[in-house]
Amino acid sequence: MIMKRILINLSTKIICTICFSLLIGGIAMGKDLGIDAIVESDSLQQIAKDLRFTEGPVWCPEGYLLFSDIPANTIYKWTPDGKLSVYRSPSGNSNGLTLDRQGRLIACEHGNRRVSRTESDGTIKSIAEKYNGKRLNSPNDVVVKSDGSIYFTDPPYGVDPAKRELDFQGVYRISPDGVLTLLVDDFEKPNGLVFSPDEKILYIADTDRKHVKAYDVKPDGTLTNGRIFADLSAERQHGPDGMKVDEKGNLYVTSGVVWIFDKTGKHLGNIVTPEAPANCAFGGKDNKTLFITARTSVYKVQLKVKGLSPKVQN
């Protein structure tokens, strides 16, 4: 029995060593070699560590990355020289972050159950807290359209069921003049969301159902023709979370690994990180760096294509 345990432990160590060596490369091929045209091989780097649960990365045009550490109740700032500093604490247990057209930080405050905007003078303003007089569940992720409207998801993560006031998990739009509209209410757990490059399609992750849906965006900003764009049920442990797109329309979905789909829904391959990723964002000088928040760390990987970042007016 002792010898058998030793052999099992030895086998486990060998398997772990092999897995670790594969993770260092950071690239796993899909059904074809389409990912070769997208990702620089052997470029995965850890840029922040010893955190608690990282989420919501966004690259700022001034040349730094912001990201949330949800349980730490902190938004961190990372600069390319490797320095990590506190940008905002407390953060309302912020999750998803983005920038509006004026470059102001928009945050889904998971703990405060609201969406906030940081004004140019540093004050923080709530821009969505209630729908039809009832408190939101737990705003999760957010994206801004070029017309200034803000779209966000509202699953019930972390909310005591007894304190929930809404009996559905919605996707919402805040118009440029501040009007909150419910767009979709039939998701199990709406999570990450992102527009196609031409903003004619909005992709929304449904974590519990393990798929990404695509919606056509109507001229008035509402959604229609919802359909399943990508099925991620092969990833048994993690459902789809944060997402981004590149200039070619490829969709990057965090779900155990970073899945990459082309604009037709074809799976091109995966970027593998040592820890399960929760979100990602494009940035760097040429917008060819993909930053990945993954549990206790943040990673970056170099790409061969430019990604899309928030459209900030000069």
CA–chain centroid gap for 296, Å, is 15
Assign 34 to helix, strand or coil: helix
Q: CA 225, CA 128: separation in Å to the nearest integer?
A: 26
What is the dihedral sign for C-alpha 84, 88, 92, 98?
A: negative
Dihedrals φ, ψ of 136, to 5°? -65, 160
Q: Could you say which DSSP state residue 33 is in?
A: S
User: Domains of the chain, with CATH numbers?
Assistant: 2-302 (2.120.10.30)
Q: CA 86, CA 62: separation in Å to the nearest integer?
A: 16
Tokens 């821009």 identify what position?
127
Residue 314: predicted pLDDT: 72
Q: Per residue of the chain (314 residues), give pLDDT as tens.
A: 333 332 333 333 333 333 333 333 355 444 445 788 899 877 899 999 999 999 999 999 999 999 999 999 999 999 999 999 999 999 999 999 999 999 999 999 999 999 999 999 999 999 999 999 999 999 999 999 999 999 999 999 999 999 999 999 999 999 999 999 999 999 999 999 999 999 999 999 999 999 999 999 999 999 999 999 999 999 889 999 999 999 999 999 999 999 999 999 999 999 999 999 999 999 999 999 999 999 999 999 999 999 999 999 87
| Residue 84 CB neighbour total at 10 angstroms | 17
What is the dihedral sign for C-alpha 74, 85, 255, 199?
A: positive
Residue 149: predicted pLDDT: 99
Buried b (16+ CB within 10 A) or exposed e, 37-55: ebbeeebbeebbeebebbb
Q: Could you say which DSSP state residue 137 is in?
A: S
Q: Could you say which DSSP state residue 274 is in?
A: S
Contact between 198 and 179 (Cβ < 8 Å) = no
Contact between 259 and 267 (Cβ < 8 Å) = yes
Amino acid (one-letter) located at 123: T
Q: pTM for this one?
A: 0.90
Strand blocks (E) in 49-104: 54-60, 64-69, 74-78, 84-88, 94-99
Beta bridge partners of 230: 212
Q: CA 229, CA 224: separation in Å to the nearest integer?
A: 14
Find out whether the peptide bond into 219 is cis, omega within 30 degrees of 0: no
Listed residue (202, 203, 215, 207) closest to 190, CA to CA: 207
Q: How many residues in total does the chain contain?
A: 314
